[in-house]
């Protein structure tokens, strides 16, 4: 492993579940000598990627916020996706939340989220929060369209969780389940992450046909089931949004 990769491995320790680290704890987690871990922390601190909040304890630093601002202004997915999401949630037939998600380290990250003006419910997908690939429509449509070798490796490493979430107890069963997910123009799940919520999703594909993300709508199940007209309107909005994003963004991947 290159020295730069080793330094970045420290940065990757920080998470929502554990946002604060000490040099000793990082050294133990990564199997580093304490002196080496200290040098890595000093390098990251000088660059502003981490910052000391109290003696010996570190959190992510202001450089992360600066990089996020740059990404919002330059990443094609974020630049184009924000406008498309905003349009998708304007004057809907029911309260909705629109999501733009990306595949990241074999998990799913919500990178943008927009809600209709009257939406008053919270959902599990939050910007920057990593979610598993095997729960929720936004995740499953991405999983169903990843390259086969990555899919097989993912199955072998997560077989127990995959079976627990009814995606298949064997590799052939898993492949069949994902094929069924791919057969839907709009894939719909009910209550998998949040009780009483319906998720509608379409994958975003590269020019080679592999998923790099998804675009989704979330609504209250009671509203979604009120009429076929409402469901058709939500499907139409989502299909239109996915089409726009595919044209504007897919060529970059």
The answer to the question of residue 221 being in a domain is: yes
Q: Is the pLDDT of residue 56 over 90?
A: no
Mean pLDDT, rounded, for 194-213:
92
The answer to the question of residue 70 being in a domain is: no
Whether 149 and 182 share a structural domain = yes
Q: Is the pLDDT of residue 176 over 90?
A: yes
- C-alpha to C-alpha distance for 31 and 150, rounded to whole angstroms: 28
Mean pLDDT, rounded, for 117-145:
90
Do residues 107 and 133 lie in contact, with contact meaning Cβ atoms separated by under 8 Å? yes
Say what the pLDDT of residue 33 is: 92
Q: Is the pLDDT of residue 253 over 80?
A: no
Q: Is the pLDDT of residue 141 over 60?
A: yes
Whether 95 and 38 share a structural domain = no
Mean pLDDT, rounded, for 103-112:
91
Highest mean pLDDT among 44-58, 214-228, 236-250: 214-228
Compute the mean pLDDT over every residue in the chain, rounded to the nearest whole number. Answer: 91
Whether 105 and 153 share a structural domain = yes
pLDDT band for position 80 (cuts 50, 70, 90):
confident
Whether 48 and 116 share a structural domain = no
- Give the range of the structural domain holding residue 237, as residue numbers without chain letter: 75-252
Whether 61 and 90 share a structural domain = no
Assign residue 225 a region (left: φ > 0; alpha: ψ between -120 and 50; beta: otherwise). alpha
Whether 141 and 41 share a structural domain = no
The answer to the question of residue 206 being in a domain is: yes
Question: What SS3 class is residue 90?
Answer: coil
3-state secondary structure 107-141: EEEEEEEEECCCCCCCCCCCECCEECCCCCHHHHH
- C-alpha to C-alpha distance for 54 and 21, rounded to whole angstroms: 11
184-201 per-position pLDDT tens digit: 999 999 999 999 999 999
Question: What SS3 class is residue 89?
Answer: coil
| CATH number, position 17 | 1.10.10.10
Whether 60 and 166 share a structural domain = no
Number of folded domains in the chain? 2
Whether 190 and 214 share a structural domain = yes
Whether 23 and 87 share a structural domain = no
Output the pTM of the full model.
Answer: 0.83
The answer to the question of residue 44 being in a domain is: yes
Contacts of 3 (CB under 8 A, 6+ apart): none
| CATH number, position 153 | 3.30.450.40
Whether 210 and 189 share a structural domain = yes
Q: Is the pLDDT of residue 2 over 70?
A: no
Mean pLDDT, rounded, for 31-38:
92
Contacts of 93 (CB under 8 A, 6+ apart): 229, 230, 233, 234
Mean pLDDT, rounded, for 46-50:
94
Q: Is the pLDDT of residue 62 over 70?
A: yes
């Amino acid at each position: 492993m290159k020295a730069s990769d080793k330094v970045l491995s420290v940065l990757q320790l920080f998470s929502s579940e554990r946002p604060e680290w000490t040099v000793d704890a990082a050294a133990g987690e990564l199997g580093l000598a304490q002196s080496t871990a200290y040098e890595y922390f000093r390098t990251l601190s000088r660059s502003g990627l981490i910052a000391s909040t109290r003696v010996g304890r570190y959190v992510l630093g202001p450089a992360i916020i600066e990089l996020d601002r740059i990404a919002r202004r330059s990443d094609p997915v974020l630049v184009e996706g924000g406008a498309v999401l905003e349009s998708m949630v304007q004057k809907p037939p029911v309260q909705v939340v629109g999501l733009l998600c990306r595949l990241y380290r074999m998990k799913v990250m919500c990178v943008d989220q927009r809600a209709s003006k009257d939406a008053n419910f919270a959902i599990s997908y939050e910007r920057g929060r990593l979610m598993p690939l095997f729960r929720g429509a936004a995740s499953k449509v991405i999983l169903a369209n990843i390259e086969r070798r990555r899919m097989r490796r993912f199955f072998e490493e997560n077989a127990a969780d995959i079976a627990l979430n009814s995606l298949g107890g064997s590799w052939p069963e898993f492949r069949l389940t994902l094929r069924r997910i791919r057969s839907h123009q709009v894939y719909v799940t009910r209550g998998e992450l949040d009780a009483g919520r319906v998720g509608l999703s379409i994958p975003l594909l590269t020019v080679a046909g592999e998923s790099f993300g998804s675009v989704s709508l979330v609504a209250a199940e009671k509203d979604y089931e009120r009429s076929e007209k409402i469901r058709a309107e939500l499907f139409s909005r989502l299909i239109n949004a996915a089409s726009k994003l595919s044209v504007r963004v897919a060529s970059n991947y």
